[in-house]
Structure formats: structure tokens, C-alpha cells
Structure 1
């Protein structure tokens, strides 16, 4: 399928325009075009969202409801958020827009010998900017099957532009609402044996000679949401040698239940909890691909990665995201002190990447 105003495949030839693709999708297109291993998929462009909002006739309502909001008035923010999300989730997608969704979804499925589940991931135009971290502000939906399920969750992604936390974050960081839009990534799911994040600098000290990664069993959502204590590994960026490793508890993993077509959270055995979830070879591979992402984007990167159990060793490391690092580079020394204090209570000898991201995003840690 060729690119349309509403659809852009990751492996197409069109440039990754941030205004058309949002932060996440622009990154995925750039990574794919640079030859890095990204699960196949396509972006539903901001033109789709804009056409949907125009057809619904609610653009002025959105602006007027947001204009007078006070970020500290939690109850009012929640009320406006709920109303805006209902307005979006309850409206039909224009026929021309949905027709392109359907064609792109079937074109993606045609690449495989049997139907594959997909992830539907938000990609706002205000996210992944060098001076702001929108990690966790909008929604991601996993292991979806069929075009009706996908279409429903595309609408939910659009609506997540107006979650309470996203509205509050924009207000507190003086990010204007005018021109704000949302693209959506539709991407083959990774059947992850292990997954996690990596930052191409030490987020505690800003040391750019280090790569700090976190890893856990199963899909990475439990890591990026801070729901498990992952393994924490520090690697020398030049020599690609491990200089520090801390085994996390990793008490749970998120894995697919093929019989029911859904994800389930399972308890991890004591034996598996007591060892690293990734091998030395895999640590080196993750560090290497993180360095490649940093070189490509020309600044420290915060990547999400996964090891796909359905692919052979040596070919199973996939990049799910790469965004500019903001944990260290954009916070004040006071915030750094707070983040380190939070991490120190977790029993680490090193600050947790996940906890740093949650502190910066204003979300609770566990």
C-alpha cells in the first residue's frame, strides 16, 4: 500500500515529519529508514485526527474547555478530561479515514502467513521533544486483533491527548494547545521474552561514557510503568563492558495467553527472579543498538527494546522507541536530588531509569 494523507508505513520512503507523525511515529520511521530493527507497522497521521475532529465539529469546544483550566484544580481537570474523552470516543470515524485504516491494516497483515496481533500506540505532536518528557502521558494498547478492535483503540489513543495527566503536564509546562494533534502507531506485537529500557548516559550524573539499562521478563510495559523492580545494568559505552549489575526482583511478567488472545500477568519463579533476565551477549547487543540510535539522532537517547521469543537469537533484538533523553538534561539539581532519593529507597546502588522517568512525569512510584 502506498502512503496516503492519512497513512504512512514505517518502511516507506517519505521523510519522518514530526508535525505529521508525532514524536513516537517519527522516531519509528526514522529508525526503520536507518536500517535499525523495528517491528513493522504504519502511522495513522495527524491528518486523520484533524479530519476526525473537523467532522465531529468539536474543535472550538475543545479550545474553550481547556482555555480557562487551572492545573492545580484537579477536580475540574478530571471533569474536562472525562468530557473531552467521551466526545472523542463516542464519535464515528469519517468513512474516508476509516477506509485507509482498513486498507493499511490488511496490507500489514498480508506480510505474514497468519493473522498477527498489533499494538496501537499514541504519538502526539508535543511528545518526545528535546526539552520535555511525555513518557506515559498518552495511551498504548497491546495485543489487539481485528480491524474493529484496532479502530476502537485508535479513537482511544486520540482521546488520550486529553487525559488528566496530559492536560496537567501541558499546562504546567506552558505547552500550547493550539496546533496540538495526535498520530497513532499500529505495529506488529512483539512476543517478548524480555524487554526494557536503556539510556545512553547515566541519568544520575549525566556521564555520557555510560549506558544504563533496565530489563525484566515478558513485555516491557511493567518496566516502563514502574510496576516491577527490573534488573539494572551499567555498561561502559566505549568498551561495551558491564561495569555494574544489580539483579532486580522481577516478581511478575506480562505474557500473551494465546488461547484467549489476551495478555496475562504471571508470577515469576524464585529461581528466575534471582538471575539477570538478559545474557551478557544480549547486554552488549542492547548497548550497541542504543549507541547506533544516539549516533543517528545526534543526542543522548532513551530507548525501549524487546527480545522477541519468536525470532532466532542474534536477530531477536527489536527497537520499540527512541526518544531524546530528558531525565538528566532538562531537570534542575533539586529535582535530580529528589529523584535519587526516591531511587535509593528501592535498594538500588544506582538510580532507576524508570523511577526517574516517573518522578519527572509527576507520576507515583512504587
Structure 2
């Protein structure tokens, strides 16, 4: 029998990794000067209450244009804790970074926090995202800082494996500057959304194993998260955890592990399908502009766990289940 889980809000916010809102802050005069000996790749260091190590450069093609290119500086973190605070109804990172570009600091365009499953000994990965002009040399140094702990640390980037950067920006008019067809479609999904209801449905109600056709209304205080932000730069922020909800409700005798949206930091759109990245599920997506309603439907097979709830008995087997999240625009 499943037990109802109690998930505290601060655990949902702090314990999960998700993309943060764009950061444009630079270290102010009140923050102490960085250490004189710059830290290099693989060297563990403490910033705030967490332990980090410089990892690698990352290409960020979502920022690329004819004249600029997106790059990321990745750090791995031992604790798996996103150092963020609630600010102005959103979320703000407590750590930030600047790059040394021709004597002037370059600020981040965004900061993302995700789980690290490919870095032994580390639980999370922080990527500081920057936009460079094409043809610019990768910087050899930068500064990472913590706004809440009054700390700055100089970072040596010279030992990292360089990324291929186009030598010169493209000039003149391109042969075709019209957006791709999918660019028009995805624009309808940009914005801040709030989970309003969840619909569970088995398309084949006569499967003889398990059938459901039910809607769950979501109200303020829902402990499994309601917010979903789909940004124009194809980053996403969400604290919705349907995997935990399904685990907690006895009337849902199955487990789906990829519906904790806190695990994802980006999204793609193609031919009516939104896919969360990295490695996330695909949803049939529709947006009603008149009612300002977004519907994301995940269709897939689920293994039913034999159970008896409220006199209803389920059989063991696999059935197709549609799960639709209905969001309203904020």
C-alpha cells in the first residue's frame, strides 16, 4: 500500500536542480576580493556551503546567431543542492560568474542547475552560460562568486579543452532568414504557466487490467509543484513532480519515473511535440490562445501493480495510459 508523502516546499525548491532565471548581476564592492592563486580544472573548492570543481567548456547552440555564439562554463558540485533563493516571485541563484574579456568582466546570460549522472563523486552540475562574439578568443580566466556569503574565487580556464568557435561572423544577407516552420509553432508556448488540473485516462477501458478516466483539480498549496516556465531561449524551469504524486496516490497503481520536471532544464519543439531536456519525456502539446490554456499529454505504457483500493481490484499487466497536464497562463 502506498503511503502519502509529505514534501516540504523548501525541499522541492532547494533539493532539486532546475534552470534558474537569467542572471545579469556582477560582483559588487561589498564582496571580498578573489583569492590570488586561481583555481584550475578538477581542483575542489568551497563556495558558500557547497563544494565545487571546474569541469569543462560546453557549447550552447541555442544562443548561436550569425554574429554570436553561446558557451557555458561547467562546474560539478558534490552536494547536489541548488543554491537559490525566492526573489520577487521567482528564483535567483546565489552564485554567479564573470569571464575576463579584454580587461572587462562579461556577465552570465543564464545559470542552470541539473543532476550530474556522469561525474563520479559529484551529484550536480552548474553551468554558467555566456554569449561571445564569433571570432572572439575563449577567455583564460574568470571569477566565481557567492552573493550571500561575500566570497569570490578566481578561476583559471586555460587548461580546459577548447571549443571550436567560428573564426569570423557571417556578414551580408543570408540566403534565407525566414524562421523555420517550428519556430512559429513554439512561440505559442512561451511564458509562465500554472498547473490547473491533471487528467488520467486509459484509452482502452476494456483492457481487463486497469481503467481510469479521472481529472484532478489543482489549487494553491499543491505540494508537488505548479509552476512551469517555457522560455524563448529554450530553457525551462519547473518544480512540478508528477512522479511523486503518482507514487503517493493509492488509486494510481503504477510508477512513472520521468515525470519529475525538476530534473530538466531545457525544451525542444517539433511537429506538435514538446520534449524536455536533457533526456526527458515527450508530450503532445497544444495551446488554446483564447482560453490561455496549455495542455501537455504524455502517452505511454505503465506496469500496473496488483492492488485493492476502495473495493476496486487491479490486475497485474501493462496498459497504455494518457496523462495530461493542463496549465493556465499566469
**TM-score interval, smaller chain:** under 0.3
The higher radius of gyration belongs to 2
Structure number with the higher helix fraction is 1
What is the TM-score with the length of structure 2 in the denominator? 0.24
Determine which structure has the larger strand proportion and give its number.
2
What is the TM-score when the length of structure 1 is the normalising length? 0.23
